[in-house]
């Protein structure tokens, strides 16, 4: 591996690690803030001392916060089962140490999720019918107990030792007035989107330990202080030669300083990379001041706005905390001003593009073909359109021999080890929340879309360049040789229907599912609701209406029906000639969906289905 490739690999590895840590901590920031406020308000030296209410501080710090972090880590790896077993295991870690076990939770949570995920994979298909719930419950109980014991005797003491070393290092830096040197690493890390690994992996655990001992911590002030960025933006506002940059700075100041969105000033640094010196020096001066006068916050300031920063100030320290922000801003401004005056750097537009590319890379969006091992097609319920999209793409890349797993999933339960998520545009936010470490490919429909073609081209090019090892595909979403239930019958196929509205077509498919005993009547309305949320039109003249994820309990048995409209039904700007109504339990319907996808992938077969006048011909094609 060449030097540049090695550096890029290391950078991506740190970014992924930091993003995973962030994904464990960020959903629980509200709990950290609640704990910080309780600490600031009710401890003996708080704003409103209250001995009874102050008793909540230690339990929240020692139990609730680590458990929440661990639960999130387990859930990221193995869903709800991973979260539950993580909680059991983390209790052992907490009881096996006298320290605050944030780091222990960050280690044990994902590990427990990984263990139960491996167990579930090992027993998949080997559990006797009727014993599934028994095995599922006892496996978590037994394995969780074992992990809790391991946590008590091994993980807890090991993490205590690590935390002791880190704390001693911080104490050494503080004692020798060297803590400001940390800014030399933190400020460039912020611009490179590497701060999450530092902030959530080191500062938060040490901060919690210091708050428990002293009621406050300087660790929460190193990265979140908005002063340095304020100084840089103010200098651009005052001295930039580029009118666009100068005019944009005031708006950026408001977003950065009051909104806490530090990313807004990154393009301004990248316009003149030397300006990073200003934020480093400004931040270092503030850290030196805070360290010299023993100033800290009671909890994390997230986001890093002046409002959150001052909210976490201990009683009597508000002005002292504010002064540190002013110091950072003034020093940063004074250092940045001459640099900006003398510089003719790149334009703000170019710098903004650089930031977007770097931010995309930090979120995994710049994954190389050789790094992609698992692709998930995700839709609202994970039942119909995503299954067909996954099948089509799996078959498409199979000749490439990439060894990539392609499956489908609900957009809210995307597996944590997913590299690429393919979903419709309206589901992008949910997909990003469900799989924060994955590349996101947004599409309009699952069967024909330029973004899917682009993903294929990327994988094919990677193979040609030797970026991907050639091996047999080892996983299929519909593998297995056991007998499959009949999910499509003659009575479920209606041909030659007159054109109707989209809603009437969905109603007709739903009634057919209901009349054949596949679903309860309420499922029909759930199909309409699903269509209102995101279209079930797939492309190529095919639609597959089905219920929302919440309506799965209205499915009595797996079934698929087909209603053919030779003149088409309007689904938005597209026409659907084949409307497949779907009701699925588990994965029982996936094999037939896969077959349907293979059939309609051929234009000749698709035309035959659209024009078919005999039910048996349709059944023969879909066998």
pLDDT at 193: 53
Maximum average pLDDT range among 263-272, 444-453, 485-494, 570-579: 570-579
Average pLDDT over residues 459-476: 50
Question: Is 152's pLDDT higher than 90?
Answer: yes
pLDDT in tens, 223-260: 888 999 999 999 999 988 877 778 878 888 887 888 77
Average pLDDT over residues 336-362: 62
Q: Do 616 and 530 reside in the same domain of the chain?
A: yes
List phi, psi (to 5°) of 261: -90, 90
Nearest to 279 by CA among 195, 383, 187, 149: 187
pLDDT at 155: 87
Q: Considering 262, 379, 423, 589, which one is annotated as catalytic? A: 379
pLDDT at 553: 79
pLDDT at 335: 94
Q: Do 451 and 554 reside in the same domain of the chain?
A: no
Task: Kindly indicate the confidence band of residue 83, based on its pLDDT and cuts at 50, 70 and 90.
Answer: very high
- Within a domain: residue 94? no
pLDDT at 469: 40
For the chain, give the mean pLDDT: 79
Q: Considering 200, 256, 262, 546, which one is annotated as catalytic? A: 546
pLDDT at 235: 92
- Within a domain: residue 434? yes
Q: Do 381 and 497 reside in the same domain of the chain?
A: no
Of the three residues 425, 442, 462, the one that is the final residue of a domain is: 462
- Within a domain: residue 521? yes
Average pLDDT over residues 528-557: 81
pLDDT at 18: 59
> Is residue 579 a contact partner of residue 569, using CB atoms and an 8 Å limit?
yes
Q: Do 508 and 602 reside in the same domain of the chain?
A: yes
Task: Kindly indicate the confidence band of residue 199, based on its pLDDT and cuts at 50, 70 and 90.
Answer: low
Nearest to 579 by CA among 614, 527, 533: 527
Domain with 417 in it: what CATH number? 3.40.50.2300
337 or 449: which leads in pLDDT: 337
- Within a domain: residue 497? yes
Question: Is 477's pLDDT higher than 50?
Answer: no
Q: Do 452 and 550 reside in the same domain of the chain?
A: no
- Within a domain: residue 272? no
Q: Do 512 and 451 reside in the same domain of the chain?
A: no
- Can you tell me the distance from the alpha carbon of 488 to that of 587, in angstroms, rounded to the nearest whole number? 15
Grouping H, G, I as helix, E, B as strand and the rest as coil, residue 260 is: coil
Total domain count, the chain: 2
Q: Which domain holds residue 416?
A: 374-462
Grouping H, G, I as helix, E, B as strand and the rest as coil, residue 202 is: helix
Task: Kindly indicate the confidence band of residue 517, based on its pLDDT and cuts at 50, 70 and 90.
Answer: confident
pTM given for the model:
0.50
Q: Do 419 and 498 reside in the same domain of the chain?
A: no
Of the three residues 462, 480, 514, the one that is the final residue of a domain is: 462
- Residue recorded with tokens 């540190």: 324
pLDDT in tens, 481-503: 344 455 678 888 999 999 899 99
Question: Is 458's pLDDT higher than 50?
Answer: yes
List phi, psi (to 5°) of 569: -125, 135
Grouping H, G, I as helix, E, B as strand and the rest as coil, residue 305 is: coil
The 10 Å Cβ neighbour count of residue 181 is 14
Task: Kindly indicate the confidence band of residue 27, based on its pLDDT and cuts at 50, 70 and 90.
Answer: confident
Q: Do 431 and 517 reside in the same domain of the chain?
A: no
Domain with 557 in it: what CATH number? 3.40.930.10
- Can you tell me the distance from the alpha carbon of 548 to that of 525, in angstroms, rounded to the nearest whole number? 9
Average pLDDT over residues 255-283: 81
- Can you tell me the distance from the alpha carbon of 54 to that of 571, in angstroms, rounded to the nearest whole number? 59
Average pLDDT over residues 475-484: 40
93-107 residues labelled b (16+ CB within 10 A) or e (exposed):
bbebbebbbbbbbbb
- Within a domain: residue 610? yes
- Within a domain: residue 309? no
Q: Do 385 and 426 reside in the same domain of the chain?
A: yes
Q: Do 499 and 455 reside in the same domain of the chain?
A: no
Q: Do 500 and 457 reside in the same domain of the chain?
A: no
Question: Is 364's pLDDT higher than 50?
Answer: no
> Is residue 372 a contact partner of residue 419, using CB atoms and an 8 Å limit?
yes
- Within a domain: residue 314? no
Grouping H, G, I as helix, E, B as strand and the rest as coil, residue 537 is: strand
Q: Clarify whether 95 is annotated catalytic.
A: no
Question: Is 98's pLDDT higher than 70?
Answer: yes
- Segment among 274-288, 457-471, 565-579, 580-594 with least mean pLDDT: 457-471
Q: Do 395 and 516 reside in the same domain of the chain?
A: no
Of the three residues 443, 462, 481, the one that is the final residue of a domain is: 462
């Amino acid at each position: 591996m060449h030097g540049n490739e090695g550096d890029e690999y290391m950078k991506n590895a740190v970014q992924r690690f930091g993003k995973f840590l962030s994904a464990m901590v960020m959903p629980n920031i509200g709990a950290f803030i609640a704990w910080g406020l309780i600490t600031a308000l009710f401890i003996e030296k708080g704003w409103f001392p209250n001995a009874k209410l102050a008793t909540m501080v230690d339990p929240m710090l020692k139990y609730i916060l680590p458990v929440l972090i661990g639960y999130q880590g387990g859930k990221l790896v193995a869903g709800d089962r991973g979260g539950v077993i993580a909680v059991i295991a983390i209790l052992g870690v907490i009881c096996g140490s006298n320290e605050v076990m944030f780091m222990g939770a960050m280690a044990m949570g994902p590990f427990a999720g990984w263990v139960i995920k491996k167990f579930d994979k090992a027993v998949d298909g080997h559990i006797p019918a009727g014993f599934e719930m028994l095995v599922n419950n006892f496996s978590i109980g037994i394995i969780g107990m074992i992990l809790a014991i391991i946590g008590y005797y091994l993980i807890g003491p090991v993490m205590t030792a690590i935390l002791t070393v880190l704390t001693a290092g911080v104490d050494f830096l503080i004692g020798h007035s060297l803590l400001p040197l940390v800014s030399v690493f933190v400020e460039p890390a912020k611009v490179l989107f590497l701060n999450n690994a530092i902030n959530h992996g080191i500062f938060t655990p040490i901060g919690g330990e210091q708050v428990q001992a002293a009621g406050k911590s300087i660790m929460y002030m190193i990265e979140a202080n908005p002063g340095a960025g304020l100084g840089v933006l103010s200098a651009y506002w005052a001295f930039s030669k580029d009118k666009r940059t100068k005019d944009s700075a005031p708006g950026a100041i408001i977003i950065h300083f009051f909104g806490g969105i530090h990313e807004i000033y990154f393009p301004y640094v990248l316009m003149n990379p030397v300006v990073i010196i200003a934020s480093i020096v400004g931040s270092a001066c503030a850290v030196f001041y805070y360290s010299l006068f023993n100033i800290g916050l009671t909890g994390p300031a997230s986001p890093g706005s002046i409002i959150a920063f001052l909210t976490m100030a201990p009683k009597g320290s508000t002005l002292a905390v504010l002064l540190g922000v002013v110091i950072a801003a003034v020093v940063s401004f004074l250092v940045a001003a001459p640099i900006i005056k003398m510089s003719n750097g790149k334009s703000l537009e170019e710098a903004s593009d650089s930031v977007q590319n770097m931010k995309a890379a930090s979120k995994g969006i710049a994954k190389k073909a050789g790094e992609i091992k698992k692709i998930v097609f995700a839709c609202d319920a994970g039942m119909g359109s995503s299954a067909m999209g996954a099948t089509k793409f799996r078959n498409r890349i199979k000749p490439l021999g990439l060894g990539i797993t392609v499956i489908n999933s609900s957009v809210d339960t995307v597996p944590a080890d997913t590299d690429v998520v393919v979903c419709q545009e309206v589901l992008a936010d949910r997909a990003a929340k469900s799989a924060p470490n994955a590349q996101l490919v947004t599409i309009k429909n699952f069967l024909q879309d330029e973004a899917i073609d682009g993903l294929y081209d990327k994988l094919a090019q990677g193979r040609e360049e030797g970026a991907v090892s050639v091996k047999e595909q080892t996983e299929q979403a519909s593998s297995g040789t056991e007998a499959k239930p009949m999910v499509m019958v003659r009575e479920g196929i209606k041909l030659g229907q007159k054109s109707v509205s989209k809603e009437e077509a969905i109603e007709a498919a739903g009634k057919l599912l209901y009349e054949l005993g596949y679903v309860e009547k309420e499922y029909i309305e759930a199909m309409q609701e699903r269509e209102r949320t995101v279209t079930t039109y797939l492309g190529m003249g095919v639609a597959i209406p089905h219920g929302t994820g919440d309506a799965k309990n209205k499915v009595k048995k797996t079934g698929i029906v087909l209603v053919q409209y030779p003149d088409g039904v309007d689904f938005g700007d597209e026409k659907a000639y084949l409307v497949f109504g779907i009701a699925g339990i588990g994965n029982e319907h996936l094999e037939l969906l896969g077959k349907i996808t293979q059939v309609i992938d051929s234009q000749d077969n698709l035309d035959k289905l659209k024009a078919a006048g005999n039910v048996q011909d349709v059944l023969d094609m879909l066998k």
